[in-house]
């Protein structure tokens, strides 16, 4: 892999709220990429701790800190970052996660192989990265709307979207706003996955402490995303009741399993 041969540029958007203890770990993992990003944008969601001060003192003009006056949630913060993005693609990272040093290089290779991609994602790990990652590159695989419809399998810290097409998260959603956007993109545009663990999550998707830890509100967000499908095609109005029932069934099943 030769990062120098890639012409695609990436803007990295990291939303943060009171992330003084973790934000530098995330930013460092971006600045240490073998393929340097065009921009590193940290969207501070009106933090009440010293997050902004820490970022400005440590990184100066190496990153762009966008400050929100009022707390709007992760969707609003990411949208603020997207508005400032100038790269060909926007890559997302949450403030308590990190990337493998080859992440952007591998994603750039995938884009070179599939230049029609509007959404690209990869796997994540909850453990240390595989030391051999990046040596055995697998080709990206296509993902269809029908595969994503049963449920979200794309972590935001693993997602990259094409810039300049008006893609935005629904700022009225505080839960599952990422799934809502992925559905809208994949419905009409090509999406591809990479079967490698290029992000490390320091908390599981629904583990205590994160915004996604409230599983019922996550489920409500999923159902809301399903209702939004009618905006894509009115015929989804026939399917939405069944999708909502499917979502409720998944929730009840998980409750039974845990009890």
Q: Please indicate, yes or no, whether residues 157 and 107 belong to a single structural domain of this protein.
A: yes
Where do we find the tokens 């996550």?
A: 218
For residue 154, the model assigns a pLDDT of: 98
Q: Please indicate, yes or no, whether residues 243 and 192 belong to a single structural domain of this protein.
A: no
Q: Please indicate, yes or no, whether residues 32 and 128 belong to a single structural domain of this protein.
A: yes
Q: Please indicate, yes or no, whether residues 142 and 249 belong to a single structural domain of this protein.
A: no
H/E stretch holding 159 reads: strand 159-162
**CA-to-CA distance for 194 and 176, rounded, in angstroms?**
22
Kindly report the CA angle at 141 between 243 and 109, in degrees rounded to 5? 130
**CA-to-CA distance for 194 and 159, rounded, in angstroms?**
10
Please, are residues 142 and 194 in contact by the beta-carbon 8 Å criterion?
no
For residue 211, the model assigns a pLDDT of: 44
H/E stretch holding 252 reads: helix 236-258
Residue-wise pLDDT for 59-92, tens only, equals 999 999 999 999 999 999 999 999 999 999 999 9
For residue 7, the model assigns a pLDDT of: 84
Q: Please indicate, yes or no, whether residues 66 and 91 belong to a single structural domain of this protein.
A: yes
Q: Among 194, 212, 230, where does a domain finish?
A: 212
For residue 176, the model assigns a pLDDT of: 95
Q: Please indicate, yes or no, whether residues 206 and 225 belong to a single structural domain of this protein.
A: no
Q: Please indicate, yes or no, whether residues 21 and 44 belong to a single structural domain of this protein.
A: yes
Kindly report the CA angle at 117 between 37 and 168, in degrees rounded to 5? 70
What letter would DSSP give residue 177?
H
Whole-model pTM? 0.92
For residue 49, the model assigns a pLDDT of: 97
Domain of 248, in residue numbers:
214-259
Q: Please indicate, yes or no, whether residues 115 and 138 belong to a single structural domain of this protein.
A: yes
For residue 75, the model assigns a pLDDT of: 97
For residue 4, the model assigns a pLDDT of: 42
Q: Please indicate, yes or no, whether residues 142 and 245 belong to a single structural domain of this protein.
A: no
Non-local CB neighbours of 257 within 8 Å, separated by 6+ positions: none
Work out how many domains the chain is built from and give that number. Answer: 2
Q: Please indicate, yes or no, whether residues 200 and 246 belong to a single structural domain of this protein.
A: no
185 vs 31, 108, 245, CA distance in Å? 28, 19, 24
What letter would DSSP give residue 210?
S
**CA-to-CA distance for 52 and 43, rounded, in angstroms?**
10
**CA-to-CA distance for 211 and 16, rounded, in angstroms?**
12
In CATH, what number is assigned to the domain containing residue 52? Answer: 3.90.550.10
Q: Please indicate, yes or no, whether residues 188 and 220 belong to a single structural domain of this protein.
A: no
H helix intervals, 71-214: 74-84, 103-113, 145-148, 177-188
Q: Please indicate, yes or no, whether residues 23 and 53 belong to a single structural domain of this protein.
A: yes
**CA-to-CA distance for 243 and 151, rounded, in angstroms?**
10
Where do we find the tokens 């493998």?
A: 100
Spans in the chain with pLDDT lower than 50: 4, 207, 210-212
- Residue 10: CB atoms within 10 A of its CB come to 27
For residue 2, the model assigns a pLDDT of: 53
């Amino acid at each position: 892999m030769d990062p120098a041969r890639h012409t695609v540029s990436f803007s990295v958007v990291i939303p943060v709220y009171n992330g003084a203890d973790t934000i530098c770990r995330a930013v460092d993992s971006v600045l240490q990429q073998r393929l340097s990003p065009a921009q590193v944008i940290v969207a501070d969601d009106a933090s009440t701790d010293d997050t902004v001060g820490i970022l400005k003192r440590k990184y100066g003009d190496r990153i762009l800190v966008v400050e929100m006056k009022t707390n709007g949630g992760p969707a609003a913060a990411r949208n603020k970052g997207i508005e400032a993005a100038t790269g060909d693609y926007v890559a997302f990272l949450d403030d308590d996660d990190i990337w493998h040093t080859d992440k952007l290089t591998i994603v750039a290779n995938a884009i070179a192989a599939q230049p029609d991609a509007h959404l690209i994602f990869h796997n994540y790990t909850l453990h240390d990265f595989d030391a051999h990652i990046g040596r055995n590159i697998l080709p990206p695989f296509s993902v269809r709307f029908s595969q994503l419809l049963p449920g979200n399998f794309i972590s935001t810290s693993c997602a990259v979207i094409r810039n300049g097409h008006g893609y935005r998260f629904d700022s009225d959603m505080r839960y599952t706003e990422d799934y809502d956007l992925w559905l809208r993109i994949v419905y009409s545009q090509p999406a591809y996955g990479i079967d490698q663990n290029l992000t490390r999550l320091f908390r599981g998707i629904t583990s205590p402490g994160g915004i996604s830890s409230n599983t019922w509100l996550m489920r409500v967000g999923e159902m809301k995303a399903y209702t939004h499908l009618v905006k894509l095609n009115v015929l989804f109005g026939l399917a939405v009741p069944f999708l909502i029932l499917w979502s409720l069934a998944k929730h009840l099943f998980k409750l039974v399993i845990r009890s």
